[in-house]
Chains A and B, each alone.
Chain A
Protein backbone atom coordinates (compact mmCIF):
# COMPACT_ATOMS: atom_id res chain seq x y z
CA UNK A 1 0.00 0.00 0.00
CA UNK A 2 1.74 3.03 -1.36
CA UNK A 3 0.91 6.01 0.78
CA UNK A 4 1.31 4.24 4.10
CA UNK A 5 5.09 4.59 4.14
CA UNK A 6 4.91 8.36 3.77
CA UNK A 7 2.76 8.69 6.86
CA UNK A 8 4.39 9.42 10.19
CA UNK A 9 4.94 6.43 12.40
CA UNK A 10 2.12 5.24 14.59
CA UNK A 11 4.21 6.09 17.60
CA UNK A 12 5.55 3.54 19.97
CA UNK A 13 3.67 0.25 19.98
CA UNK A 14 2.36 -0.48 23.41
CA UNK A 15 3.10 -3.90 24.86
CA UNK A 16 1.18 -4.90 27.93
CA UNK A 17 2.53 -7.87 29.87
CA UNK A 18 0.11 -10.82 29.97
CA UNK A 19 -2.40 -9.16 27.63
CA UNK A 20 -3.24 -9.37 23.94
CA UNK A 21 -4.58 -6.54 21.83
CA UNK A 22 -8.18 -7.00 20.70
CA UNK A 23 -8.88 -3.59 19.17
CA UNK A 24 -6.51 -1.18 17.48
CA UNK A 25 -7.10 2.54 17.19
CA UNK A 26 -6.34 2.35 13.49
CA UNK A 27 -8.27 0.12 11.08
CA UNK A 28 -6.08 -1.80 8.63
CA UNK A 29 -7.09 0.42 5.71
CA UNK A 30 -6.58 3.62 7.67
CA UNK A 31 -3.44 5.66 7.00
CA UNK A 32 -4.04 8.19 9.76
CA UNK A 33 -6.12 8.65 12.89
CA UNK A 34 -6.14 12.42 12.59
CA UNK A 35 -9.12 14.29 11.21
CA UNK A 36 -10.52 17.74 11.83
CA UNK A 37 -14.16 16.85 12.42
CA UNK A 38 -15.82 18.34 15.51
CA UNK A 39 -15.81 16.63 18.92
CA UNK A 40 -18.69 14.17 19.27
CA UNK A 41 -19.19 13.73 15.50
CA UNK A 42 -20.55 10.35 14.44
CA UNK A 43 -18.98 10.27 10.97
CA UNK A 44 -15.51 8.98 11.97
CA UNK A 45 -17.16 6.00 13.68
CA UNK A 46 -18.97 5.17 10.43
CA UNK A 47 -15.71 5.59 8.49
CA UNK A 48 -13.89 3.12 10.69
CA UNK A 49 -16.51 0.39 10.46
CA UNK A 50 -16.82 0.93 6.69
CA UNK A 51 -13.07 0.36 6.33
CA UNK A 52 -13.24 -2.67 8.64
CA UNK A 53 -16.02 -4.19 6.55
CA UNK A 54 -14.10 -3.65 3.28
CA UNK A 55 -11.05 -5.29 4.85
CA UNK A 56 -12.97 -8.21 6.33
CA UNK A 57 -14.67 -8.96 3.00
CA UNK A 58 -11.25 -8.81 1.24
CA UNK A 59 -12.45 -6.03 -1.04
CA UNK A 60 -9.59 -3.61 -0.35
CA UNK A 61 -7.89 -4.10 -3.70
CA UNK A 62 -11.06 -3.57 -5.71
CA UNK A 63 -13.03 -1.09 -3.64
CA UNK A 64 -13.78 2.25 -5.27
CA UNK A 65 -15.53 4.89 -3.20
CA UNK A 66 -17.50 7.73 -4.73
CA UNK A 67 -18.03 10.59 -2.32
CA UNK A 68 -20.23 13.61 -2.47
CA UNK A 69 -19.71 16.85 -0.58
CA UNK A 70 -19.79 17.02 3.17
CA UNK A 71 -17.73 16.60 6.32
CA UNK A 72 -17.51 12.85 5.60
CA UNK A 73 -15.57 13.62 2.39
CA UNK A 74 -12.45 13.78 4.56
CA UNK A 75 -12.39 9.99 4.52
CA UNK A 76 -10.42 10.31 1.25
CA UNK A 77 -7.45 11.66 3.24
CA UNK A 78 -7.32 8.81 5.74
CA UNK A 79 -8.41 5.70 3.85
CA UNK A 80 -6.08 3.52 1.77
CA UNK A 81 -8.57 2.81 -1.01
CA UNK A 82 -9.44 4.59 -4.26
CA UNK A 83 -11.90 7.46 -4.25
CA UNK A 84 -13.64 9.72 -6.70
CA UNK A 85 -15.31 12.92 -5.68
CA UNK A 86 -18.17 14.17 -7.77
CA UNK A 87 -20.78 16.90 -7.97
CA UNK A 88 -22.99 17.41 -4.93
CA UNK A 89 -25.55 14.60 -4.78
CA UNK A 90 -24.43 12.89 -8.01
CA UNK A 91 -22.45 10.05 -6.45
CA UNK A 92 -24.89 7.24 -7.43
CA UNK A 93 -24.77 8.39 -11.07
CA UNK A 94 -20.96 8.47 -11.09
CA UNK A 95 -20.81 5.14 -9.25
CA UNK A 96 -23.09 3.69 -11.94
CA UNK A 97 -20.51 4.60 -14.57
CA UNK A 98 -17.63 3.23 -12.51
CA UNK A 99 -19.42 -0.05 -11.89
CA UNK A 100 -20.39 -0.49 -15.55
CA UNK A 101 -16.82 -0.12 -16.80
CA UNK A 102 -15.30 -1.99 -13.84
CA UNK A 103 -17.88 -4.68 -13.03
CA UNK A 104 -15.42 -6.52 -10.79
CA UNK A 105 -14.94 -3.47 -8.55
CA UNK A 106 -16.75 -3.07 -5.24
CA UNK A 107 -18.26 0.37 -5.81
CA UNK A 108 -19.83 2.31 -2.99
CA UNK A 109 -21.01 5.87 -2.53
CA UNK A 110 -20.56 7.79 0.69
CA UNK A 111 -23.02 10.64 0.98
CA UNK A 112 -24.69 12.75 3.61
CA UNK A 113 -28.35 13.49 4.01
CA UNK A 114 -27.87 16.92 2.45
CA UNK A 115 -26.09 15.26 -0.45
CA UNK A 116 -28.46 12.35 -0.97
CA UNK A 117 -31.84 13.66 0.19
CA UNK A 118 -31.60 17.35 -0.70
CA UNK A 119 -29.22 17.63 -3.66
CA UNK A 120 -29.34 14.26 -5.31
CA UNK A 121 -32.58 12.46 -4.50
CA UNK A 122 -33.18 11.75 -8.20
CA UNK A 123 -29.77 10.12 -8.64
CA UNK A 124 -30.17 7.65 -5.80
CA UNK A 125 -33.77 6.77 -6.72
CA UNK A 126 -32.92 6.20 -10.37
CA UNK A 127 -29.80 4.18 -9.52
CA UNK A 128 -31.97 2.00 -7.27
CA UNK A 129 -34.71 1.73 -9.90
CA UNK A 130 -32.12 0.62 -12.48
CA UNK A 131 -30.92 -2.01 -9.98
CA UNK A 132 -27.34 -0.81 -10.31
CA UNK A 133 -25.04 -3.20 -8.49
CA UNK A 134 -23.58 -0.54 -6.21
CA UNK A 135 -23.77 0.13 -2.49
CA UNK A 136 -24.95 3.57 -1.39
CA UNK A 137 -24.16 4.70 2.13
CA UNK A 138 -25.94 7.72 3.53
CA UNK A 139 -24.67 9.31 6.73
CA UNK A 140 -27.78 11.05 8.01
CA UNK A 141 -27.19 13.71 10.66
CA UNK A 142 -30.04 15.99 9.63
CA UNK A 143 -27.93 19.03 8.73
CA UNK A 144 -25.64 20.37 6.03
CA UNK A 145 -22.72 20.20 8.49
CA UNK A 146 -19.94 21.16 6.11
CA UNK A 147 -21.52 24.45 5.06
CA UNK A 148 -22.44 25.55 8.57
CA UNK A 149 -25.43 23.53 9.70
CA UNK A 150 -28.36 24.43 7.42
CA UNK A 151 -31.57 22.39 7.36
CA UNK A 152 -31.72 19.48 4.91
CA UNK A 153 -34.63 17.57 3.42
CA UNK A 154 -33.94 14.91 6.07
CA UNK A 155 -34.06 17.21 9.13
CA UNK A 156 -36.79 15.95 11.44
CA UNK A 157 -39.86 17.99 12.36
CA UNK A 158 -39.00 20.34 15.22
CA UNK A 159 -35.25 20.13 14.63
CA UNK A 160 -33.40 23.39 15.17
CA UNK A 161 -30.78 24.21 12.56
CA UNK A 162 -29.11 27.41 11.38
CA UNK A 163 -31.90 27.92 8.85
CA UNK A 164 -34.76 26.68 11.05
CA UNK A 165 -33.92 28.34 14.35
CA UNK A 166 -37.44 27.88 15.72
CA UNK A 167 -37.41 24.22 14.69
CA UNK A 168 -38.48 22.64 11.40
CA UNK A 169 -42.15 23.41 10.95
CA UNK A 170 -44.34 21.28 8.65
CA UNK A 171 -46.30 24.39 7.57
CA UNK A 172 -43.21 26.30 6.54
CA UNK A 173 -40.67 23.61 5.64
CA UNK A 174 -42.69 20.49 4.98
CA UNK A 175 -41.86 17.00 6.18
CA UNK A 176 -38.57 15.05 6.12
CA UNK A 177 -37.78 12.66 3.26
CA UNK A 178 -37.28 9.04 4.44
CA UNK A 179 -34.74 7.98 1.81
CA UNK A 180 -34.38 4.37 3.01
CA UNK A 181 -38.15 3.74 2.80
CA UNK A 182 -38.35 5.38 -0.65
CA UNK A 183 -35.51 3.23 -1.98
CA UNK A 184 -36.90 0.08 -0.35
CA UNK A 185 -40.17 0.57 -2.25
CA UNK A 186 -38.35 0.18 -5.59
CA UNK A 187 -38.08 -3.34 -7.05
CA UNK A 188 -34.47 -2.70 -8.12
CA UNK A 189 -33.32 -2.28 -4.52
CA UNK A 190 -32.05 -5.59 -3.17
CA UNK A 191 -30.94 -4.57 0.30
CA UNK A 192 -31.98 -1.56 2.37
CA UNK A 193 -31.32 -0.99 6.06
CA UNK A 194 -31.06 1.84 8.54
CA UNK A 195 -28.89 1.96 11.63
CA UNK A 196 -27.38 4.44 14.07
CA UNK A 197 -23.92 4.88 15.56
CA UNK A 198 -25.00 6.48 18.83
CA UNK A 199 -24.36 3.37 20.96
CA UNK A 200 -21.84 0.51 20.90
CA UNK A 201 -24.70 -1.84 19.97
CA UNK A 202 -25.74 0.45 17.13
CA UNK A 203 -22.16 0.52 15.86
CA UNK A 204 -22.09 -3.30 15.76
CA UNK A 205 -25.47 -3.32 13.99
CA UNK A 206 -24.22 -0.79 11.43
CA UNK A 207 -21.26 -3.03 10.73
CA UNK A 208 -23.52 -6.04 10.11
CA UNK A 209 -25.71 -4.01 7.73
CA UNK A 210 -22.73 -2.64 5.79
CA UNK A 211 -21.35 -6.15 5.44
CA UNK A 212 -24.68 -7.39 4.17
CA UNK A 213 -24.89 -4.49 1.69
CA UNK A 214 -21.48 -5.30 0.21
CA UNK A 215 -22.37 -9.00 0.07
CA UNK A 216 -25.53 -8.05 -1.83
CA UNK A 217 -23.41 -6.13 -4.31
CA UNK A 218 -20.85 -8.88 -4.83
CA UNK A 219 -23.62 -11.45 -5.27
CA UNK A 220 -25.03 -9.29 -8.09
CA UNK A 221 -28.50 -9.11 -6.56
CA UNK A 222 -28.99 -5.38 -7.16
CA UNK A 223 -28.81 -2.01 -5.48
CA UNK A 224 -28.04 -1.78 -1.78
CA UNK A 225 -28.41 1.15 0.56
CA UNK A 226 -27.52 1.61 4.22
CA UNK A 227 -28.67 4.77 5.94
CA UNK A 228 -26.57 5.47 9.03
CA UNK A 229 -27.86 7.98 11.57
CA UNK A 230 -24.89 9.89 12.98
CA UNK A 231 -24.46 12.61 15.57
CA UNK A 232 -23.80 16.27 14.75
CA UNK A 233 -23.81 18.02 18.14
CA UNK A 234 -22.45 21.21 16.54
CA UNK A 235 -25.30 21.38 14.03
CA UNK A 236 -27.89 20.35 16.62
CA UNK A 237 -26.80 22.97 19.18
CA UNK A 238 -26.40 20.33 21.92
CA UNK A 239 -23.40 19.42 24.12
CA UNK A 240 -21.30 16.61 22.67
CA UNK A 241 -22.29 14.19 25.43
CA UNK A 242 -25.99 14.82 24.66
CA UNK A 243 -25.60 13.87 20.99
CA UNK A 244 -26.43 10.14 21.28
CA UNK A 245 -29.52 10.92 23.39
CA UNK A 246 -30.69 13.57 20.92
CA UNK A 247 -30.34 11.05 18.11
CA UNK A 248 -32.43 8.39 19.87
CA UNK A 249 -35.05 10.87 21.15
CA UNK A 250 -35.47 13.10 18.10
CA UNK A 251 -34.32 11.23 15.02
CA UNK A 252 -35.12 7.58 15.70
CA UNK A 253 -38.92 8.13 16.08
CA UNK A 254 -38.89 9.47 12.49
CA UNK A 255 -36.19 7.12 11.24
CA UNK A 256 -36.68 3.70 12.87
CA UNK A 257 -33.57 1.52 12.62
CA UNK A 258 -33.48 -2.02 11.33
CA UNK A 259 -33.37 -3.89 8.01
CA UNK A 260 -36.06 -2.74 5.57
CA UNK A 261 -35.44 -5.13 2.70
CA UNK A 262 -33.17 -8.12 2.15
CA UNK A 263 -33.70 -9.97 -1.11
CA UNK A 264 -30.89 -12.43 -0.33
CA UNK A 265 -32.94 -13.63 2.60
CA UNK A 266 -36.57 -14.06 1.43
CA UNK A 267 -39.13 -13.28 4.11
Chain B
Protein backbone atom coordinates (compact mmCIF):
# COMPACT_ATOMS: atom_id res chain seq x y z
CA UNK B 1 0.00 0.00 0.00
CA UNK B 2 1.40 3.38 -0.96
CA UNK B 3 1.73 6.09 1.70
CA UNK B 4 -0.78 8.93 1.74
CA UNK B 5 -0.12 12.64 2.29
CA UNK B 6 -2.72 14.96 3.86
CA UNK B 7 -3.32 18.31 2.16
CA UNK B 8 -5.36 20.77 4.21
CA UNK B 9 -4.96 23.51 1.63
CA UNK B 10 -3.62 24.28 -1.79
CA UNK B 11 -2.24 27.19 -3.79
CA UNK B 12 -2.54 28.42 -7.34
CA UNK B 13 0.71 29.61 -8.86
CA UNK B 14 0.76 32.22 -11.63
CA UNK B 15 3.91 30.90 -13.27
CA UNK B 16 4.09 33.62 -15.91
CA UNK B 17 4.34 36.37 -13.29
CA UNK B 18 7.05 34.55 -11.32
CA UNK B 19 10.58 36.01 -11.45
CA UNK B 20 12.20 32.91 -9.97
CA UNK B 21 13.54 34.49 -6.77
CA UNK B 22 12.97 31.25 -4.79
CA UNK B 23 11.96 33.10 -1.60
CA UNK B 24 8.89 30.84 -1.27
CA UNK B 25 10.92 27.62 -1.17
CA UNK B 26 12.51 28.02 2.32
CA UNK B 27 9.47 30.00 3.54
CA UNK B 28 7.16 26.99 3.10
CA UNK B 29 6.85 25.29 6.55
CA UNK B 30 5.89 21.81 5.24
CA UNK B 31 8.47 22.14 2.45
CA UNK B 32 6.11 21.18 -0.36
CA UNK B 33 7.25 23.82 -2.87
CA UNK B 34 10.16 23.12 -5.19
CA UNK B 35 11.50 24.92 -8.24
CA UNK B 36 10.66 23.65 -11.72
CA UNK B 37 13.35 22.69 -14.16
CA UNK B 38 11.46 24.28 -17.04
CA UNK B 39 11.12 28.04 -17.43
CA UNK B 40 8.25 30.44 -18.08
CA UNK B 41 7.97 32.83 -21.05
CA UNK B 42 10.33 35.32 -19.46
CA UNK B 43 12.92 32.62 -18.78
CA UNK B 44 12.52 32.14 -15.05
CA UNK B 45 12.07 28.85 -13.25
CA UNK B 46 8.99 28.84 -11.03
CA UNK B 47 7.71 26.98 -7.94
CA UNK B 48 5.65 23.81 -8.12
CA UNK B 49 3.47 22.32 -5.41
CA UNK B 50 3.70 18.77 -4.12
CA UNK B 51 0.94 17.24 -1.96
CA UNK B 52 1.01 18.22 1.72
CA UNK B 53 0.09 21.93 1.60
CA UNK B 54 -1.43 23.22 4.86
CA UNK B 55 -2.81 26.48 3.42
CA UNK B 56 -0.73 28.54 5.89
CA UNK B 57 -0.15 31.41 3.43
CA UNK B 58 3.58 31.75 4.18
CA UNK B 59 4.42 31.62 0.44
CA UNK B 60 1.81 34.28 -0.23
CA UNK B 61 3.28 36.46 2.53
CA UNK B 62 6.86 36.46 1.24
CA UNK B 63 6.24 36.48 -2.53
CA UNK B 64 7.27 39.84 -4.07
CA UNK B 65 5.54 39.08 -7.37
CA UNK B 66 2.05 38.25 -6.11
CA UNK B 67 2.15 34.78 -7.63
CA UNK B 68 0.20 32.79 -5.04
CA UNK B 69 -3.46 32.48 -4.20
CA UNK B 70 -4.16 30.25 -1.21
CA UNK B 71 -7.14 27.95 -0.63
CA UNK B 72 -8.23 25.89 2.35
CA UNK B 73 -10.02 22.61 1.78
CA UNK B 74 -13.27 22.10 3.66
CA UNK B 75 -12.13 18.53 4.28
CA UNK B 76 -8.45 17.47 4.20
CA UNK B 77 -7.52 15.79 0.92
CA UNK B 78 -5.59 12.53 0.92
CA UNK B 79 -3.10 11.95 -1.88
CA UNK B 80 -1.39 8.65 -2.48
CA UNK B 81 2.25 9.15 -3.28
CA UNK B 82 4.57 6.59 -4.72
CA UNK B 83 7.04 5.29 -2.14
CA UNK B 84 10.64 6.39 -2.35
CA UNK B 85 12.04 9.86 -2.88
CA UNK B 86 9.52 12.69 -2.95
CA UNK B 87 8.50 13.96 -6.39
CA UNK B 88 11.23 14.79 -8.85
CA UNK B 89 12.74 18.07 -7.76
CA UNK B 90 13.56 20.56 -10.45
CA UNK B 91 17.16 21.11 -9.44
CA UNK B 92 16.73 23.99 -7.00
CA UNK B 93 18.41 22.28 -4.09
| Chain A interface residues toward B at CB < 8 A | 14, 16, 18-26, 30, 33-35, 37-45, 48, 197-200, 203-204, 233, 240-241, 243-244
Instruction: Please determine whether B74 and A25 come into contact, CB atoms closer than 8 angstroms.
Output: no
Q: Known contacts being A18-B75, A199-B27, is A25 close to B22, with CB within 8 Å? A: no
Which of chain A's residues has its CB closest to B56's CB?
A200
CB distance from A154 to the nearest CB of B (A): 20
B21 contact set on A, CB distance < 8 A: 39-40, 233, 240-241, 243
Instruction: Please determine whether B27 and A25 come into contact, CB atoms closer than 8 angstroms.
Output: no
- Cβ 8 A contact of B60, one of A16, A23, A37, A38: A23
Instruction: Please determine whether A26 and B66 come into contact, CB atoms closer than 8 angstroms.
Output: yes
12 contacting pairs across A/B (C-beta < 8 A):
A14-B12, A18-B73, A18-B75, A19-B9, A19-B72, A23-B57, A39-B19, A39-B20, A39-B21, A45-B61, A198-B62, A241-B22
CB distance from A174 to the nearest CB of B (A): 31
Instruction: Please determine whether A204 and B74 come into contact, CB atoms closer than 8 angstroms.
Output: no
A48 contact set on B, CB distance < 8 A: 66
B15 within 8 A of A: no
Q: How far is the CA of A6 from the CA of B65 in the complex (A)?
A: 21
Which of chain B's residues has its CB closest to A239's CB?
B22
CB distance from B68 to the nearest CB of A (A): 6
B73 contact set on A, CB distance < 8 A: 18-19
A197 contact set on B, CB distance < 8 A: 62
Instruction: Please determine whether B64 and A22 come into contact, CB atoms closer than 8 angstroms.
Output: no
B26 within 8 A of A: yes
Instruction: Please determine whether B10 and A16 come into contact, CB atoms closer than 8 angstroms.
Output: yes
Instruction: Please determine whether A23 and B65 come into contact, CB atoms closer than 8 angstroms.
Output: no
**Which B residues, 7 to 63, have Cβ-Cβ distances below 8 Å to chain A?**
9-10, 12, 14, 17, 19-23, 25-27, 44, 55-58, 60-63
Q: How far is the CA of A243 from the CA of B19 in the complex (A)?
A: 14
Instruction: Please determine whether B75 and A45 come into contact, CB atoms closer than 8 angstroms.
Output: no
A244 contact set on B, CB distance < 8 A: 23, 26, 62
B81 within 8 A of A: no
B interface SS class:
mixed
A19 contact set on B, CB distance < 8 A: 9-10, 71-74
CB distance from A230 to the nearest CB of B (A): 9
Instruction: Please determine whether A33 and B62 come into contact, CB atoms closer than 8 angstroms.
Output: no
B69 within 8 A of A: yes
CB distance from A19 to the nearest CB of B (A): 4
Q: Known contacts being A19-B10, A25-B14, is A14 close to B23, with CB within 8 Å? A: no
CB distance from B29 to the nearest CB of A (A): 8
Instruction: Please determine whether B64 and A25 come into contact, CB atoms closer than 8 angstroms.
Output: no
Q: Known contacts being A14-B12, A19-B72, is A243 close to B61, with CB within 8 Å? A: no
A37 contact set on B, CB distance < 8 A: 64
B70 within 8 A of A: yes
B5 within 8 A of A: no
Q: How far is the CA of A35 from the CA of B65 in the complex (A)?
A: 8
A203 contact set on B, CB distance < 8 A: 61-62
A33 contact set on B, CB distance < 8 A: 14, 17, 65-66
Which of chain A's residues has its CB closest to B68's CB?
A25
Residue picked from B19, B55, B67, B74, most chain A C-beta under 10 Å: B19
Which of chain A's residues has its CB closest to B77's CB?
A18
Q: Known contacts being A18-B73, A21-B71, is A40 close to B60, with CB within 8 Å? A: no
